[in-house]
Structures are given as structure tokens and as C-alpha cells.
Copies of this chain bind each other. A is one copy, B any other.
Amino acid sequence: MSLRYALLALLRVGPLSGYELQKQFAMSVGHVWHAPDSQIYPELRKMEAEHLIEGEEQTRGQRATRRIYHVTDTGEQAFLAWMHTPLKYARVRDPAHLRAAYLEAATPEAAREFFRSHIMQWEGELAQWEGELLRIDELANPMLVRRLAVTQPEDRERTIAFKRFTYEGLVERARGEIAWARRGLKLIDELDRSAGARADRDTARV
């Protein structure tokens, strides 16, 4: 259900074709809400059927066409209504912490590998989000620049501030996950040592 609001958020800045939208999506909203093109095209059609957006067919070259979508009044209202509606939080469903809770069933090497890939995963996200923070500060994000261009001067500060604030939160989360996983690696070392010590003691006794 959030997908359509993510799409509306982008289209509110200005009309785009499905293809452009999909590209822009990956580089902006896609950082907080992933969607593949195979989901975006049908969703646009559905949104058009519900009159949230309108598409205009444009010719391209001799035979090809493309559809340029823009937000309707209904769509704008739906977006604002959603912004003023309490968010539904999804129930926890966290495969990484599920696995972490049962790591005693894995070999220490597999447990280490788990934490290492957790670190890599979140370092990837961190890099994305830090990059986005930089692009916000330097006004180097094209969608943000277009957004500011159609925003009342007195609202520009807010627009930038909330975007920045969002990515700050994501960056902190990523750092938290990385720190946790690093501590996980240390924990495995400690457990190894303490198991080793116990084994030594037992051998000594025998």
C-alpha cells in the first residue's frame, strides 16, 4: 500500500513516464522503499484506473510510444490524506535476529560468516544513505532540486530538513547494526576461548 504513495511522492514533483519514474525511484524513494519495475508499471495502471494519476500517450520516434503520468487533484488529496493518517506498523519479522537467536546450532565459523555478511549488508546500505546525505547537503540530488523548484520559498527549509533527518536516522540504524555484528564477532571469539579453556582444564584433569 505504501508503494503508491511513494510513487505519488515522486510524481508530485512533476510528470514522468513509467520508465523515468522507475529510474528516479531507484535513486531516491527506492532508498527507503524498494520496488522492481515489474511492480511499478502495473501499480501505475491501477492508480490511473482509480484516478489518482493520469497518463498521456506520447509518440517516440516512428512507431514507439510512452506514457507520461501526472498527479490529479484526487491523487494529491489522497497523498495528503495518507500523510495525515496514522501509519500501520508491520509486525516484527527479522530473519537476521531470528538466526542470531539460534547461532549455538551453527559452527563458530558459520556464525562468524553470518556476522561478516551482516556487516557487509549494512555497510552497503550505509554507503547508500551517507551518499544521499551528501547529495542533500550539496543539493546534488536532481529530484530534490526539482522538488525545491516547485516549492514555496518558506517551505524549502522544511523540505530539506525532513529529507536530511530521514537519512540521518537510516545512517544511525545502519551503524547500529554494524556495531552489533562486530560485537557478535567478538562474542564468538570469547566463547571459543572459554570453550578452549574448559577443554584444556578437562584434559589436564585426565
Contact = CB atoms under 8 A, between A and B. Distances in A.
A187 interface: yes
Contacts of A183: 165
Nearest to A195: B154
A172 B79 CA distance: 33
Nearest to A191: B158
Interface string A90-122: 111111111111111111001001100110010
Please name the 3 residue pairs, one residue from A and one from B, whose CB atoms are nearest each other, closest first. Answer: A34-B91, A104-B158, A101-B166
10 contacts: A2-B98, A5-B98, A9-B98, A33-B93, A83-B99, A87-B96, A101-B162, A101-B166, A104-B162, A158-B191
Given A84-B106, A173-B176, A161 B93 contact: no
A80 to B, nearest CB: 6
B187 A161 contact: yes
Contacts of A5: 98
Residue with the highest number of chain B CB atoms closer than 10 Å, among A12, A157, A158 = A158
A159 B154 CA distance: 56
Interface string A151-191: 10011011101110110111011001100100110010001
Contacts of A155: 104
B97 A166 contact: yes
Contacts of A101: 9, 29, 32, 162-163, 166
Given A33-B98, A79-B105, A98-B2, A198 B117 contact: no
Nearest to A165: B187
Contacts of A79: 105
B162 A172 contact: no
A4 to B, nearest CB: 11
Contacts of A118: 87
A58 interface: no
A34 B91 CA distance: 6
B87 A95 contact: yes
